[in-house]
Chains A and B, each alone.
Chain A
Amino acid sequence: MRSRLLTIAHKEFLHIRRDRRSLIIIFLLPLIMMVLYGYAITFDIKRINIAVIDRDKSPASRELVASFTAGRLFRVAARPQEVGEVERLMRRGKVHAALVIPRGYQKQLRTKPTTAVELLIDGSNANTATIVMNYARMLLANVSLRTVPEVAVPFVVRPLVLYNPEQRSMVFVVPGLVAVLIMMICALLTSIAVTRERETGTIEQILVSPIHPLELVLGKVLPYVVVALLDAASVVVFSVLVFRIPFRGSAVLLLGLSVVFVYASLSLGVLISSRAATQRAALMGAVMATLLPSIMLSGFIFPIRSMPKALQVLTYVVPARYYLRIIRGIMLKGIGGAYLWQDVLWLFAFGTLLLMVSIGRFRTRLEG
């Protein structure tokens, strides 16, 4: 049994090695993805272009504009003459907001308790719009505070950011990338590899030999386990050495728990290949069933807690969800098994269940 399994695995290794182009992509893709994801995924909004219409042109109005630009978030990109111009600028995406200071602003500020300024916001990206609104409100509140310097500031807010004090998106994204990569290689590659044998007819050749479907499946997936773990390890090492992402926990523990995740992902891949008749279908199925959920529903980029309840429930069947907690916990927080055993258990149960289902299906499909 063992030697037959190794024979299949060896054959699969040869396939992988012969296919030079795929091989390059398998090892180059992770690095490129890491650089791209690591640098391109930035949530913090650094600069927002605004337009200013100053109809007062007084020292007070200039001071207000100065206080808007002092914080570095806002940059005055245009000084149009009229509001109609603002709309055109927004439609072209040149500015996200406009501050309109009315004529008589300075005079009102001295004589009246409240003075109004207009804030026009492009609402299309609600996130940016909210940030603009909150930030502008805060700036204006400070202007008010400065009119009563006699009152001492009652308290200050001192933030402390744990695990990722510099707030680098990369720290968050790169460990998640390991999960996506493992999922991609294990589920996508295996499902394609199995379907390919079916499509080119070689599977019949193998089936007439005295091999058990389980051996065939295991033999086929074994090389991908090795590839996936190598890929994952290279991403982790690279991210620690080059991107200076902290590694606070135990590497051995991470490796051990990664194997459990690999097991779950492979089971998913095998399940897909037991259903798909063509490589095209397997590919589409794998993308829909593994990759997108791993990216979208695992907490990789979008926090699970912010999703609607129904989707939060759905995330429980996304294996990457558990693995993300594991890898981030170990790398960034340095926590150990005591905190993670539940996630490991889920992953294991998930993998076993899928494998059972797919082996049953696989056999009937081959015979049918």
Chain B
Amino acid sequence: MRRVLYVIRKEFLQVFRDRAMVFLIFMAPVVQLVVLGYVVSSEVRHLATVVDDRDRSAQSREIVARLESSQYFDVLPIAGERTGAREYLDRGVASVALIIPPNFSEDAMAGHTPALQVILDGQDANTSNVALGYASGLLNDLLSEQVQHRAALLGLRPRVVEPRVQVWFNPELKYRNYMVPGIVAFLLTLTTSLLSGMGLVREREVGTLEQLNVTPIRPHELLLGKTIPFAVLGIAEVTLAIAVARLWYQIPIVGNLGLLALFVVVFLFTTLGIGLFVSSSSTTQQQAMFLTWFVLIFALITSGFLFPIENMPWWIQALSYFNPLRYFMVVVREIFIKGSGLAELWQQGAILAVFGLMILILSARRFQKRIR
């Protein structure tokens, strides 16, 4: 077992000697967390909007004023007559256009039910959906007010059903509180699998593996020696990432950090197992990198980190059950936001443990065969 310690020491020496690696392992995650945190949790706001008001009545001006006062729409001045709202969308200057038809307010008063046209740049289905939602909500409010107003004129009293809304777990509705823990989970996956994936291949490529093979070192000792350092680095990185989440983003951590640490360790079995698998399946570092990248993209997309799994086609949903990151993502988020404990998370824990052990054992066996 002493041999394992020597391999571990050697790995650390090599990592810390490479200044670029030290930077990438410790600084890059911080930078990423800070940048990504803002990017992925940005809400759709300040949509560039043009209004083509062909009615020019008090009512149409009221509509424009409401758009302007909301934080969702930035109303741009429209240049000249009849440039056409369409042109603004073509050039990508605006992503929403509102067209108020001529005689809009007169028709509305007369009960002809005129149509307000909202034109959306549909390239990004998400933004356009959200934009339409905001616009409809805004116009819907206006509509209700008008109905009430007119009902009052007719001496009628509409009944109002009022929702009393209680938001649980994240009452300020900060999207960030949901996304930043996700980034923490993803960064851990990324670094540990990449690092351990490259480790053995490098020794093979440079020729040092052969030298090791004539020494009395056992495959399992080499395996441990080459995995433990990355587990340690992974844990250090998670700690750093959590600190950034807490101190920079002020993300509340409701749950138990000890429990989180336990899950991190369980999940490391999986990522390091993947790294070993990649390592023992490739002959060059380039191949190892491709393979890792391939696995990571799948893991990222089907983890529910960025895109809700429930909305995916059934076959991708089915695939996602084989993605360990899917479970880990839930665990990290639940512990951060809801403070869930083992009572709620034991299923994920069991699945992760099974996955981790399976992947690690299979990869370790493959590794032992392949180092010869």
| CB <8 Å contact, B311 and A302 | no
What is the distance, in angstroms, from B59's C-beta to the closest C-beta of chain A?
9
What is the distance, in angstroms, from A188's C-beta to the closest C-beta of chain B?
8
- Which chain B residues numbered 104 to 129 have a C-beta less than 8 Å away from chain A? 104, 107-109, 111, 113-129
- For residue B28, which residues in chain A have a CB less than 8 angstroms away from its CB? 284, 288
- For residue A123, which residues in chain B have a CB less than 8 angstroms away from its CB? 167-173
Contact A167:B129 (CB < 8 A) given known A42-B311, A119-B166: yes
Most buried by B among A40, A144, A276: A40
| CB <8 Å contact, B123 and A171 | yes
| CB <8 Å contact, B143 and A154 | yes
Whether a CB of chain A sits under 8 angstroms from the CB of B362 is no
Whether a CB of chain A sits under 8 angstroms from the CB of B338 is yes
Cα–Cα, bound, A122→B206 (Å)? 53
Cα–Cα, bound, A121→B170 (Å)? 9
Whether a CB of chain B sits under 8 angstroms from the CB of A5 is no
Count of residues in A whose CB is under 8 Å from the partner chain: 119
Contact A91:B340 (CB < 8 A) given known A123-B169, A133-B165, A314-B35: yes
What is the distance, in angstroms, from B185's C-beta to the closest C-beta of chain A?
14
Contact A118:B123 (CB < 8 A) given known A19-B286, A144-B159, A148-B147: no
| CB <8 Å contact, A151 and B290 | no
Whether a CB of chain A sits under 8 angstroms from the CB of B36 is yes
| CB <8 Å contact, A280 and B118 | no
| CB <8 Å contact, A172 and B124 | yes
Cα–Cα, bound, A86→B92 (Å)? 45
Contact A40:B108 (CB < 8 A) given known A118-B166, A138-B140: no
- For residue A361, which residues in chain B have a CB less than 8 angstroms away from its CB? none
- Stretch of B37-45, B211-219, B236-244, B262-270 on the interface side: B37-45
CB-based nearest B residue for A140: B161
Contact A145:B158 (CB < 8 A) given known A36-B297, A302-B40: yes
Whether a CB of chain B sits under 8 angstroms from the CB of A279 is yes
Give 1 or 0 for each of B280-314: 1 = CB within 8 Å of chain A CB. 00101111011101100110011000111011110
| CB <8 Å contact, B39 and A120 | no
| CB <8 Å contact, A119 and B164 | yes
| CB <8 Å contact, B158 and A144 | yes
Give 1 or 0 for each of A304-338: 1 = CB within 8 Å of chain B CB. 01111001001000000000010011001101000
Contact A150:B165 (CB < 8 A) given known A44-B311, A281-B20, A297-B39: no
Whether a CB of chain A sits under 8 angstroms from the CB of B154 is yes
Contact A296:B36 (CB < 8 A) given known A19-B287, A40-B302, A161-B120: yes
- For residue A297, which residues in chain B have a CB less than 8 angstroms away from its CB? 35, 39
| CB <8 Å contact, B116 and A45 | no
- Stretch of A21-29, A259-267, A352-360 on the interface side: A21-29
Whether a CB of chain B sits under 8 angstroms from the CB of A250 is no
Count of residues in B whose CB is under 8 Å from the partner chain: 120
Whether a CB of chain A sits under 8 angstroms from the CB of B3 is no
| CB <8 Å contact, A42 and B312 | yes
Residue from the list A128, A152, A153, A339 in contact with B90, Cβ < 8 A: A339
- For residue A10, which residues in chain B have a CB less than 8 angstroms away from its CB? none
- For residue B104, which residues in chain A have a CB less than 8 angstroms away from its CB? 155
Whether a CB of chain A sits under 8 angstroms from the CB of B198 is yes
- Which chain A residues numbered 285 to 305 have a C-beta less than 8 Å away from chain B? 285, 287-288, 292, 296-297, 301-303, 305
CB-based nearest A residue for B40: A302
| CB <8 Å contact, B297 and A33 | yes
Cα–Cα, bound, A21→B291 (Å)? 9
Cα–Cα, bound, A126→B174 (Å)? 6
The list of the 4 closest CB pairs from A to B, nearest first, reads A43-B126, A123-B170, A164-B122, A161-B122
14 A–B contacts, CB within 8 A, in A order: A22-B284, A37-B301, A115-B162, A116-B163, A124-B333, A154-B109, A155-B108, A160-B120, A162-B89, A167-B128, A200-B205, A283-B194, A305-B47, A335-B91
Q: A22-B287, A172-B123, A280-B21 are in contact. List 8 more A-B contacts (CB 8 A).
A: A42-B312, A119-B166, A144-B158, A148-B156, A155-B107, A278-B21, A308-B42, A339-B92
**Residues of chain B whose beta carbon lies under 8 Å from any beta carbon of chain A:** 18, 20-21, 24-25, 28, 31-32, 35-36, 38-40, 42-48, 86, 89-92, 95, 104, 107-109, 111, 113-129, 132-133, 135-137, 139-140, 143-144, 146-147, 150-151, 154, 156-175, 177-178, 190, 194-195, 198, 202, 205-206, 282, 284-287, 289-291, 293-294, 297-298, 301-302, 306-308, 310-313, 316, 330, 333-334, 337-338, 340, 344
